[in-house]
Amino acid sequence: MKHQETAQEIIKAVGGTNNINSVYHCVTRLRFDLKDNEKVDNGSLKKLDKVMGTNISGDQFQVIIGNDVAKVFDAMVKENPAIQQSTENKEPKSDKKQNVVLKIFETIAGVFAPMLPAITAAGMLKGLLALFVSVGWMSAGTDTYRILSAIGDGVFHYLPLLIAVSAARKFGSNPFVAIALGTALMYPDMTKLLDGSQTVGFLGIPVTAVSYASSVIPILLAVWLMSYVEKWVDRVIPAALKLLLVPLITLLVMVPVTLIAIGPLGTFVGSGLSGGINWLLNEGGLIAGIVLGGAMALIIMTGMHYALVPIILSNIATLGFDKFLPLTFISNMGQAGATLGVFFRAKDKKLKTVALSTSFTALMGVTEPAMYGVNMKYKKPFAAAMIGSAVGGGFALAFGAKAYVLAGNGGLPGLPSLIGQTFWYSFGGMILAFVVGTIMSTIFGIKEEEGDAEALAQFSPGASSAPAKVASSDATSVNLDDMGDPTPTSDAVAVAPMTGKSIPLKEVNDPTFGDELMGKGVAFVPTVGELVSPVTGTIMNVFKTKHAIVVRSDNGIELLIHVGINTVKLRGQYFDAHVATGARVQAGDKLLTFELAEIAKEYDITTAMVVTNTADYKQVLPVKLGEITMGEDVLKAEI
């Protein structure tokens, strides 16, 4: 599916353009501010090839795309420019009240996400240089080393300038004035003035000695406050003088305020947060590794990991290492291992191919396809991944594993960021997470029919007790309001829809039907490849893959007839439908024919007939079990 088509389908699934206040994107996901999240059609979204999953953070609805998110976003706003608030990843404004903590996390994410390419490139180079020096390929004193080191170190030394630009865009202020604020703080003479060797004052007010090189929190707070100052000054200055006076007054206010108050406060806050988290990582050891390692996938899903970027950068700048980063590598390996376990257990060839390929991409540091496309979809592998990550995280932090640069890739390509004294502890944690994730996923297994059950979910017990529209295979629909009162009016009897042997529904080797999750009923082992209507009524749905049909009788019983187990994978092969959605049928009318012998070569041909509105009846009981001929009474539902 092309990006334009994907974009239009996403807009449709989130309730259309009229339901969108605004949308922007981060590294992997579209972030919608919707008028009503209840209007979202999650089922339709998850069926799109480019969509790996969805998430709600606060009131924000997120559609996870992965690497192509920018392309899908561009296609979306190109076709619908009215929905775009800013092409600069600026956070949309909303009248909705939002959790303050989540608001802070999302703000930090919005500031740091656009900077990550520069930060990660510099971090990767620093890691490679450390590797080259450690193996003797390069000397630290050469001109080449110093030039390459400047590329890596320069970004982190002048990090406040990058933050100033991104924060200005985030908070809606002038990015060039924000840069001017940052350069004033980092001007060589200012750095010398604030080196702590002398007492400094501004108009008699003491200025605390603070180094702003490589700092994060002070400039973030300063630009945030600057956005308000700039807007206030802009309102009171005459239009003819705005160009000159607005930036001048803003800088004259903000530079001293930052030096006197915000800088020391930001340094104190940053040091406190870093100290608290580092204390947990240092003192928590094994327990902290187990808890944080196991929960890392959930932290990443909510986007909370972005809130830790300032602390990670601060740790690397001040301490020379960070203990949180190894856990992100370990979590990715857990996801990769769990998906490999799906490859070992899956029987469907397509699923095996998807599992193997996404396991490889997770090893390379891109986890969204594995996490959202496989592990979360089948649930048990996701639990296996968390267990593997907990084991690996516990091992790594028990031995004090550290990362020494921010490489930006949590997979094998990012290993240079871990090179140092604790490399083997980090790497050992990664191996443990991968191996344990694989083993646990293989042990847990998956229910491959979950995808089929998902398609049938609209016909779960009670699903049709209220008026609804039922999608059909030929793009038409049947409105239940047009079909009369859906409440059963009398006892109902259904005849056998096929010739063969009738058996209790609980004997079906599929928990969706065998555990009566869809409702009560009866099953058949057919000897003839023909299916007829068990009642007189209306066809509610002919599945696109023709392996299942839903029919409702005139007196209200609703029957789902599902031919075979997992036969949805045949995608209609060996099946022929003789009716369409909305057709009127008499009991005994031919509905489907199918090539019984061909289907039976690969699949269990046991056919379930389920009363999907079981809750409307006092009891639903088989009338006859054993050898049966189509047309004989086989099931009774009593009001």
CA atoms within 13 A on the CB side of 520: 14
User: β-strands 537-542, 626-628: how paired?
Assistant: unpaired
Q: At what angle are helices 263-302 and 423-444 packed, to 10 degrees?
A: 30
Considering only CA atoms, which of 145, 127, 110 is closest in space to residue 29?
A: 110
The residues with which 526 forms a beta bridge, in sequence order, are: 500
Whether the CB-CB separation of 540 and 551 falls below 8 Å is answered with yes
Distance CA 407, CA 413 (A): 9
Structure tokens at 231: 């807007």
Distance CA 314, CA 332 (A): 23
Whether the CB-CB separation of 338 and 377 falls below 8 Å is answered with no
Considering only CA atoms, which of 174, 34, 176 is closest in space to residue 92?
A: 34
C-alpha to C-alpha distances, 445 to 295, 342, 381, 441, 499, nearest whole angstrom = 21, 7, 8, 6, 35
Structure tokens at 170: 């985030």
The residues with which 562 forms a beta bridge, in sequence order, are: 548, 608
> Which candidate in 26, 260, 304, 354 is catalytic?
26
For 407-449, the DSSP string reads: -S--SGGGGGGG-STTHHHHHHHHHHHHHHHHHHHHHH---TT
Structure tokens at 480: 């239940």
C-alpha to C-alpha distances, 178 to 193, 211, 453, nearest whole angstrom = 21, 18, 54
Distance CA 493, CA 496 (A): 10
Structure tokens at 570: 């045949």
Whether the CB-CB separation of 338 and 384 falls below 8 Å is answered with yes
Distance CA 335, CA 369 (A): 10
Residue 236 dihedral angles phi and psi, to the nearest 5° = -95, -15
Considering only CA atoms, which of 200, 324, 301, 318 is closest in space to residue 256?
A: 200
Whether the CB-CB separation of 299 and 307 falls below 8 Å is answered with no
Please enumerate in sequence order all residues whose Cβ is within 8 A of that of 235, keeping only pairs 6 or more positions apart, or say none: none
Active site includes 26? yes
Distance CA 40, CA 20 (A): 11
The residues that are catalytic are: 26
